[in-house]
Structure 1
Amino acid sequence: MSRRPVNPARRFADGGSIPFVGSVQSKTRSTRLLSIGLLVVGAILLIGYLHSGSDGSIREKEALSKTEGGSSCTLEVLRALPILKKAYGDSMNKVLHVAPDSCSVVSKLLKEEDTQAWGVEPYDLYGADVNCKSLVRKGIVRVADIKFPLPYRAKSFSLVIVSDALDYLSPRYLNKTLPELVRVSADGVIIFSGYPGQQRAKVVELSKFGRPAKLRSSSWWIKYFVQTKLEENEAAAKKFEQASTKRSYRPACQVFHLKPYG
């Protein structure tokens, strides 16, 4: 007798006719759920990353600074801007900022009403973001070696703010650079300098700046000002201290206020 052909549809329809078919289906569902879960988690992480990037490069640099064990006085300038406005008032309308990563401070100042700002970046802008490159193209931020005379006329700016840059200069070059900063200011110079022991030498410093930061004490700076006949602006320093106390602000860097040349 001839045998009737088996209907494959019936065999697949009957779960009991194929061993472990229920287990296979269960594993397939689990794999799909796992894939969906991973996609959701990936999307959340991507959104979080993009959101953090929208705050600009400041947070990234703060994290990098903490990771490397250093303290950036340029970031401290950003924190201190409201205090500086209280202390200097109208003098904050035409500002030159000199520092590594000057673009961050200049960008912030340009957003303020009735404020003009320029910057000098003493070192190569390796890895600069699009905004910084745009400021350089427009001539708002210059890349210039501050060991040489600045390309500005005397009293070109109401205030000159310098952060971090002087910490990398030996006294030989400091003797040339600091008087230049005072020369181009009409109302004074504000120095943000790191505290001794605040930073440790980092490989990035040696490759970019040529030497690790030389962080000097407050007494060293005061003695230096006297020797080079640079006068501290006691009135501005007092206003800065009062505004700092009122806002419970404690600088993470040393802050010095110098008078302009008469």
Structure 2
Amino acid sequence: MSRRPIPVRRSADSGGNPFANSLHQKSRSSPLLSIGLVLVGAFLLIGYSYSGSGGLGGDKEALSKAEGDFSCTSEVQKALPMLKKAYGEAMRKVLHVGPDTCSVVSKLIKEEDTEGWGVEPYDMEDADATCKSLVRKGIVRVADLKFPLPYREKSFSLVIVSDALDYLSPKYLNKTLPELARVSMDGLVIFTGYPGQQRAKVAELSKFGRPAKLRSSSWWIRYFVQTGLQENEAATKKFEQAGTKKLYKPSCQVFHLNVYH
């Protein structure tokens, strides 16, 4: 938004103030002054946008948060060091489930002694070349979470889910959560948004089929208990301790769950 010069108001007593009259006449007779102020304001706004970030691209995440486009999938990537501290050997073969899973899988693959696999719940028409390569190799699969996952029982040591369960009604959660637990051997980690966050842009509503339903932590805890899933207290404690040391504060709710045995 460009900065506009503030016009001088014509007050009732301005007639008796020669300074006010002369300023008013000067502002009317000097359009170049107005144009100059607009240009200066525009340059200041552009400079502010680029300052401290190396350009707009460098502060893309901050802009996304302001526009309500923040995702818990990007939060998973930030949390990987804490997850490794919390789960140790259980990070050897990880399945990530959620939109933009290719970004998480690509980062997992770079981790030492870690296999990364992914499930994308939605279409991948806009996938880049790297993501398409992961799909061709079978590392990333496209699968509707309302149906059984295309993996055998305990195929992965750890399953991480983000931005996927927020769009499911309890009817489908009743099927999806047991499926996520079924394919995990050592644990299930769920990243979900806080109530009040704006998650799906208007353009994405057709992709997801329905707007996100962001639930409170108490709602999720009650639901986990009803589903027979219990909190992994040891992993929760290690994750929080690692986060404190690295000054990490999650922007999403993070639940650590034990799986069925």
Under a length normalisation based on structure 2, what TM-score does the superposition of the two structures give?
Answer: 0.76
SS of the aligned residue for 1:96 comes to strand
Give the aligned partner of residue 68 of structure 1.
67
Give the aligned partner of residue 121 of structure 2.
122
AA in 2 matched with 1:76: E
Query: How far does residue 62 in structure 1 lie from its aligned partner after superposition?
Result: 3.1
Seen in structure 2, the aligned counterparts of structure 1 residues 59 and 80 have a Cα distance that, compared at 3 Å, is: farther
Seen in structure 2, the aligned counterparts of structure 1 residues 61 and 102 have a Cα distance that, compared at 3 Å, is: farther
Name stretches of at least 5 consecutive residues in structure 2 with no aligned partner.
1-53
Query: Equivalents in 2 of 1:124, 1:64: separation in Å?
Result: 25
Residue 212 (structure 2) pairs with residue 213 (structure 1): yes
Seen in structure 2, the aligned counterparts of structure 1 residues 241 and 154 have a Cα distance that, compared at 3 Å, is: same
Seen in structure 2, the aligned counterparts of structure 1 residues 60 and 154 have a Cα distance that, compared at 3 Å, is: farther
AA in 2 matched with 1:151: P
Give the aligned partner of residue 96 of structure 2.
97
AA in 2 matched with 1:196: P
Give the aligned partner of residue 48 of structure 2.
none
Residue 249 (structure 2) pairs with residue 250 (structure 1): yes
Q: How does 1:137-156 map to 2 (within 5 A)?
A: 137-156=136-155
The C-alpha deviation readout for 1:110-158, integer Å capped at 9, x for no partner, is 0111111100000001211110011001100000101100011111000
Query: How far does residue 59 in structure 1 lie from its aligned partner after superposition?
Result: 6.5
SS of the aligned residue for 2:240 comes to helix
> Contact between 1:162 and 1:192, CA under 8 Å: does it hold in 2?
yes
Q: How does 1:160-175 map to 2 (within 5 A)?
A: 160-175=159-174
Query: Equivalents in 2 of 1:169, 1:59: separation in Å?
Result: 33
Query: How far does residue 256 in structure 1 lie from its aligned partner after superposition?
Result: 0.1
Query: Equivalents in 1 of 2:199, 2:168: separation in Å?
Result: 16
Query: Equivalents in 2 of 1:136, 1:180: separation in Å?
Result: 21
AA in 1 matched with 2:101: S
> Contact between 1:205 and 1:213, CA under 8 Å: does it hold in 2?
no
> Contact between 1:70 and 1:198, CA under 8 Å: does it hold in 2?
no
Query: How far does residue 66 in structure 1 lie from its aligned partner after superposition?
Result: 3.1
Seen in structure 2, the aligned counterparts of structure 1 residues 124 and 200 have a Cα distance that, compared at 3 Å, is: closer
SS of the aligned residue for 2:161 comes to strand
Question: RMSD value over aligned CA atoms?
Answer: 1.9
> Contact between 1:62 and 1:75, CA under 8 Å: does it hold in 2?
no
Seen in structure 2, the aligned counterparts of structure 1 residues 128 and 111 have a Cα distance that, compared at 3 Å, is: same
> Percent of pairs identical after alignment?
78
Query: How far does residue 188 in structure 1 lie from its aligned partner after superposition?
Result: 0.6
> Contact between 2:99 and 2:163, CA under 8 Å: does it hold in 1?
yes
SS of the aligned residue for 1:103 comes to helix
Query: Equivalents in 2 of 1:121, 1:244: separation in Å?
Result: 27
Query: Equivalents in 1 of 2:169, 2:138: separation in Å?
Result: 28
Residue 203 (structure 2) pairs with residue 204 (structure 1): yes
AA in 1 matched with 2:133: S
Query: How far does residue 64 in structure 1 lie from its aligned partner after superposition?
Result: 6.6
Query: How far does residue 68 in structure 1 lie from its aligned partner after superposition?
Result: 3.2
AA in 2 matched with 1:192: F
Residue 89 (structure 2) pairs with residue 84 (structure 1): no
Query: Equivalents in 1 of 2:89, 2:69: separation in Å?
Result: 33
Structure whose alpha-carbon radius of gyration is higher:
1
Name stretches of at least 5 consecutive residues in structure 1 with no aligned partner.
1-51, 53-57
Give the aligned partner of residue 19 of structure 1.
none
Query: How far does residue 245 in structure 1 lie from its aligned partner after superposition?
Result: 0.9
The aligned length equals 207
